[in-house]
Amino acid sequence: MGGVSNQGAAMDAATPDEQLEAFIQKYTPEIGAFARDALARMRARLPGAVRMVYDNYNALVIGFGPNERPSDAIFSLVMFPRYVSVCFLQGAGLPDPDRLLQGGGSVVRHVRLSAPDDLQSAPIEGLIATALAHARVPMPATGEGRLVIRSVSAKQRPRRPAP
């Protein structure tokens, strides 16, 4: 699991929003715009959520939870060099009538997004509503939420696809 770095004094002085933007800037303009739009839609849907950012080895992850406990998080947006996914972090037992959820682990399921507005499609919105209803710890329905940078991996895979 490589080490964690705080990216020097410049990142220490940056606000969490500025740090997140710097992480997104590592991606292509298309994936960056996609992620910003999807993030804005999730923030609008979950205004009271604590957003936890992990700039990991494989991907940039923005988790959404009722508090700062990662184990209570309900969703995450995950940015890869070629696509963005929404993860249902307590999704293994969710009803999935449209068979959208992917993954075979014991806890998490995900949906690869084609466009940010997929988040507001009836099938995915249904999964989001069901996940919220079944969450171990309820998500606050209101509030401003907050952004927390949880970790930054010193070693990372390239954030842009190879040419």
Domain ranges in the chain are 8-152
CA distance 134 to 130: 6
Give the pLDDT confidence score for residue 12 in this predicted structure: 64
Q: Identify the bridge partners of residue 139 per DSSP, sorted by sequence position.
A: none
Structure tokens at 26: 């590592």
Q: Identify the bridge partners of residue 151 per DSSP, sorted by sequence position.
A: 54
52 has pLDDT over 80: yes
Element (H, E) at 125: helix 122-134
- Cα–Cα distances in angstroms (integers) from residue 158 to residues 54, 70, 101, 125, 155, in the given order: 15, 25, 27, 31, 10
Structure tokens at 90: 């307590």
Q: Which of 141, 127, 149 is nearest to 49 (CA)?
A: 141
Q: How confident is the model at residue 6 (pLDDT cuts 50, 70, 90)?
A: very low
11-31: average pLDDT? 92
Structure tokens at 34: 């996609």
State CA 68 to chain mean position distance: 14
Q: What is the mean pLDDT of the chain?
A: 92
Residues 94-121: tens digit of each pLDDT: 999 999 999 998 999 999 999 999 999 9
Q: Are 62 and 52 in contact (CB under 8 A)?
A: yes
56 has pLDDT over 90: yes
